[in-house]
A = this chain, B = another copy of it.
Amino acid sequence: MTKDNKDTPRLDEHPGEGAVRGTQRMEIFADAVFAIAFTLPLLEIKLPEAGPDFANELLTLWPAYLAYLLSVLVIGIYWVHHHFSGAIYRTTGHHFLLATLLFLAIIAFIAFPTRAFAERLSDPGSREAGAIFYVVALAALSLAWLLKWRTGCATRDIDDRLDPAYVGRLTRRYQWSTALHAASAAIAFFIWEAGLALAAIVTLAKLRAPETPKYLDEAPEIDGES
């Protein structure tokens, strides 16, 4: 608003990308999908019947609680990184939106393989299949994230004031993460416990704060300030 006009993209730039807009609307849609995906798994926890065993049955629901916890953890971690990436992107063109939709479709789906894993963990006949499904889904999520990132780079929807070296470090970080997730999925078909352990480590590593953006010139002001 108070910046140079040449800093402010115009609606008719980025030919072939439809109506290129700021990131605000895409972020609101994405935040809403994240919020629903975050909250819906609760519906899958069924209240036990009334009776003297009620306390006990509340405790034996632990696989359902675990599924809720894992869903919330994974969706929450990706939401934090999506919130972060909202400071990195600057515009949203047509192809970037399509890549975002693919990523969000997997975010909305992830609760299902999570339940297939957590709610069948105590059943020896089912837990291998559930764990493989879950590890593969986590790998697909990581791959979709990388695809979204590469699309945003290719269509130049990323803030062009960022230091290219910084952008390169992010790219490598996302590539490594996806490579490890792919490895964990491959391993899970042979030794599911090992694949699961690797997927867990890679996922939990995302809890660390991403690197603060580096700019070529002065950093922009924080959005949303009055």
A86 to B11, CA, bound (A): 12
Nearest residue in B to A209 (C-beta to C-beta)?
B94
Interface residue A129 (Cβ < 8 Å from any Cβ of B): yes
Report yes or no: A16 in contact with B209, Cβ–Cβ below 8 A: yes
Tell whether, in the assembled complex, residue A83 and residue B26 are in contact, meaning their CB atoms are under 8 Å apart: yes
Within 8 A of B (CB), among A105-160: 105, 108-109, 111-112, 115-116, 119-120, 123, 125-126, 128-130, 132-133
In the complex, residue of chain B having the shortest beta-carbon distance to the beta carbon of A76: B101
Least distance between A55 CB and chain B CB atoms (Å): 4
A84 within 8 A of B: yes
Q: Does A200 contact B (CB under 8 A)?
A: no
Q: Give this chain's copy count.
A: 4
Q: Is A87 an interface residue (CB 8 A)?
A: yes
Q: Is B226 a contact partner of A221 (Cβ separation < 8 A)?
A: yes
Interface presence of A193 (CB below 8 A): no
Q: In the complex, which range does the number of interface residues on chain A fall in?
A: 35 or more
Instruction: Encode contact with B along A140-183: 1 for CB under 8 Å, 0 otherwise.
Output: 00000000000000000000000000000000000000000000
Q: Is the CB–CB distance between B54 and A120 below 8 Å?
A: yes
Q: Mark A75-87, 1 if CB is under 8 A from B, else 0.
A: 0100110011011
Given known A25-B31, A38-B33, contact A11–B219 (CB-CB < 8 A): yes
7 contacts between A and B (CB under 8 A): A8-B225, A19-B213, A22-B225, A45-B112, A51-B123, A223-B226, A224-B226
Supposing A36-B39, A39-B37, A54-B126 touch, asked if A29 and B222 sit within 8 A by C-beta, the answer is no
Give the residues in chain B near A76, CB-CB below 8 Å. 98, 101, 105
